[in-house]
A and B are shown apart, each in its own frame.
Chain A
């Protein structure tokens, strides 16, 4: 915040920085930002919730994001997502009961020539298949 001179217009930059630091927003974080930038909390929450990138729940230990861009959809990413949901008992947008895996669906990550794409902890798996992804996840869970 100091970097941006506590300018109100830097709200999005500040949100980015905080999100990178904590991985998600809770009420305390947003209240702190609202106070320091002298903006109403409703405004801060409004902006934060407008953008899809920001999360409001603590994500699990490992983050899977499935690309739901056009190319990935046409190439059958839906099947992979359903397979992950079945195997690990997790719903899209949520985490497994033990908090080890979170499954998110994102809009295009821009690697469409490689569709379908699944990202596991920042590593992109292109031309993904159900088998490869499930195998990788099982390995990760075993440690």
Chain B
């Protein structure tokens, strides 16, 4: 296939879709599936057939629309009518009333406009709009035209310059400037070079990458090919958690389709450029998301990180130059190429451009997957988009950045979301998890939970992390049993700082964050446990010997 063929497919497919008067998109992503989304999809197909509407009504399965708390959901276009809690037995009524009579079924409509109003969907531009299992859908929305532009009109250097101009930074958590990283790999002489797409989203409470892969796999693949073209790589791996079977299946199918259209493989679109992509499955190791950990895992070893330098940009997979990017970063690339870096740089804040996907969960009214411009405040996310704590509950803290993030109190809610502000407050951007905690949770217990997670997931290679975290957990357990002493708080603080300073990789360096931030912002709860021997949230001391076993 040549570039013209892809553009022709895009035109034809867009024409075909325009012929439909209505489009019914049924979310079949991780949130809606357990609630019978597939049955709803089938019911819509049957109803459309029954009324003889196949010509004017297209029913398709799509990825996540974002309102995961009211699933299964279905979106009817035009007009953006979002139906919530759809069950198969109501489908016939919806089709009859909405499509035939033109009156939407009011009682099933999702009416929370604020949820979408504050969002800006760039990475998730196609989520919930296209069928992820049809490459034609992606192409019809302008998909792969960024790749065509790169291959036919731009040199690798120009591609890198565009990404540098955009100010895009790594979305995996550390926020390293993406263009600069590409430059490092591009100037290496050693070949072959590799590109690794990181989809080892191990943080509990985070599902943004997964949803992206399930909703729009080709945006990841296209971004990856462009990255490979820019740095001169010939082989790529997408490293996916095995716990995400639907994402694995979707990516596998997408790769097959891309290969059949000559978008992946030898001489892509009949140019001189060749690049092949394989999937690699993780096996339940949080640490495998660390950049040297992921390399070890792809090479078939334990995912233990190693000291850097040398950085993967010079010594990566099998000692060769390797570009490692989070999938969300890669999905940002096609729009940057199409619209230009300066367009992207206008979104967000000057130092932190673009958008960020967050999984908003925990004790909020509207949990779900959101994408917001950088610089938005936590308050807007938690209270405007999320709707605040559920009725009868009081907001207490918000955990930003996964198990090694930090718990921030209400007083810090006006903090703008960007890498630097979050780090200063003791949290991290991480992979974009926001878990809201209400007054029913004990902060000591919460800190224990995350520390326990990190103890479990520590690879055991370096001492500060392996021993330090274990000791910290033991001290927390002592406090939770009611045997804590005030000196323990000093000890926790000291240990936490040691672990943070002395650990080899990102896990150890950030693992003390939950303890350090709860000590900083919720010290009174620790003191209540120690002095008054009581738990303000009524969680600890309940059971004889409150130490939990996992």
B62-78, CB under 8 A of A: which get 1 and which 0? Answer: 00000011010000000
Q: How far is the CB of B312 from chain A (nearest CB, A)?
A: 16
Q: Which of A72-91 touch B at CB < 8 Å?
A: 72-75, 78
A46-76, CB under 8 A of B: which get 1 and which 0? Answer: 1100111110000000000000111111110
Residue numbers in B under 8 Å from A125 (CB-CB):
34
Q: CB of B47 within 8 A of chain A?
A: no
Which residue from chain A places its CB closest to the CB of B433 in the assembled complex? Answer: A70
Cα distance A124–B368 in the bound complex, in angstroms: 17
Check if B283 sits within 8 Å of A114, measured CB to CB.
Answer: no
Check if B281 sits within 8 Å of A16, measured CB to CB.
Answer: yes
Which residue from chain A places its CB closest to the CB of B208 in the assembled complex? Answer: A110
Check if B363 sits within 8 Å of A75, measured CB to CB.
Answer: yes
Check if A110 sits within 8 Å of B244, measured CB to CB.
Answer: yes
Check if B301 sits within 8 Å of A112, measured CB to CB.
Answer: no
Query: Chain A interface: which size bin?
Result: 35 or more
Q: Quick one: which of A13, A74, A117 contacts B362, CB cutoff 8 A?
A: A74
Check if A110 sits within 8 Å of B403, measured CB to CB.
Answer: no
Check if B281 sits within 8 Å of A68, measured CB to CB.
Answer: no
A87-116, CB under 8 A of B: which get 1 and which 0? Answer: 000001000000000000111111111110
Q: CB of B369 within 8 A of chain A?
A: yes
Query: Chain B interface: which size bin?
Result: 35 or more
Q: Which of B534-550 touch A at CB < 8 Å?
A: 548-550
Instruction: List the one stretch of B97-105, B196-204, B376-384 in contact with chain A.
Output: B196-204
Check if B206 sits within 8 Å of A108, measured CB to CB.
Answer: yes
Q: How far is the CB of A46 from chain B (nearest CB, A)?
A: 6
Check if B299 sits within 8 Å of A70, measured CB to CB.
Answer: no
Q: CB of A36 within 8 A of chain B?
A: no
Known contacts A12-B297, A52-B284, A75-B363: A68-B550 contact under CB 8 Å: yes
Q: CB of A9 within 8 A of chain B?
A: yes
Check if B69 sits within 8 Å of A113, measured CB to CB.
Answer: yes
Check if A74 sits within 8 Å of B367, measured CB to CB.
Answer: no
Q: CB of A136 within 8 A of chain B?
A: no
Which residue from chain B places its CB closest to the CB of A37 in the assembled complex? Answer: B300
Known contacts A71-B205, A71-B435, A74-B363: A110-B210 contact under CB 8 Å: yes
Known contacts A50-B285, A53-B284, A113-B368: A70-B550 contact under CB 8 Å: no
Cα distance A73–B206 in the bound complex, in angstroms: 13
Cα distance A15–B231 in the bound complex, in angstroms: 32
Q: Quick one: which of A15, A106, A113 contacts B283, CB cutoff 8 A?
A: A15
Cα distance A88–B205 in the bound complex, in angstroms: 28
Cα distance A74–B448 in the bound complex, in angstroms: 12
Q: How far is the CB of B276 from chain A (nearest CB, A)?
A: 15
Known contacts A51-B283, A54-B283, A73-B449: A114-B301 contact under CB 8 Å: no
Q: CB of B207 within 8 A of chain A?
A: yes
Check if A69 sits within 8 Å of B34, measured CB to CB.
Answer: no
Q: How far is the CB of B142 from chain A (nearest CB, A)?
A: 28
Known contacts A74-B362, A110-B30, A113-B68: A68-B204 contact under CB 8 Å: yes
Cα distance A139–B71 in the bound complex, in angstroms: 25
Known contacts A51-B283, A74-B362: A112-B206 contact under CB 8 Å: yes
Check if A69 sits within 8 Å of B204, measured CB to CB.
Answer: yes
Check if A11 sits within 8 Å of B300, measured CB to CB.
Answer: yes
Residue numbers in A under 8 Å from B369 (CB-CB):
113
Q: CB of B292 within 8 A of chain A?
A: no
Q: CB of A132 within 8 A of chain B?
A: no
Cα distance A74–B363 in the bound complex, in angstroms: 8
Which residue from chain B places its CB closest to the CB of A70 in the assembled complex? Answer: B205
Check if B453 sits within 8 Å of A107, measured CB to CB.
Answer: yes
Known contacts A15-B283, A73-B449: A9-B34 contact under CB 8 Å: no
Q: CB of A29 within 8 A of chain B?
A: no
Q: CB of A10 within 8 A of chain B?
A: yes
Residue numbers in A under 8 Å from B33 (CB-CB):
124
Q: Quick one: which of A8, A52, A78, A111 contacts B30, CB cutoff 8 A?
A: A111
Cα distance A9–B280 in the bound complex, in angstroms: 11
Q: CB of B467 within 8 A of chain A?
A: no
A1-15, CB under 8 A of B: which get 1 and which 0? Answer: 000000111111101
Check if B35 sits within 8 Å of A112, measured CB to CB.
Answer: no
Check if A110 sits within 8 Å of B362, measured CB to CB.
Answer: no
Check if A111 sits within 8 Å of B207, measured CB to CB.
Answer: yes
Check if A112 sits within 8 Å of B283, measured CB to CB.
Answer: no
Q: Which of B275-316 touch A at CB < 8 Å?
A: 280-286, 297-304
Q: Quick one: which of A7, A53, A71, A111 contacts B34, CB cutoff 8 A?
A: A111
Check if B297 sits within 8 Å of A114, measured CB to CB.
Answer: no
B426-462, CB under 8 A of A: which get 1 and which 0? Answer: 0000000101010001000010011001000101000
Residue numbers in B under 8 Å from A112 (CB-CB):
204-207, 359, 361, 367, 435
Check if B548 sits within 8 Å of A50, measured CB to CB.
Answer: no
Q: CB of B242 within 8 A of chain A?
A: yes
For this complex, 6 residue pairs linking A to B, each with C-beta atoms less than 8 Å apart, are A11-B301, A70-B203, A70-B450, A71-B362, A113-B207, A113-B369
The 3 closest A-B pairs by CB, nearest first: A113-B68, A69-B204, A70-B205
Besides A112-B204, A114-B35, 13 new A-B residue pairs in contact (Cβ under 8 A), listed by A number? A13-B280, A13-B281, A16-B283, A47-B302, A50-B303, A69-B204, A70-B205, A70-B402, A71-B204, A73-B204, A112-B435, A113-B369, A125-B34
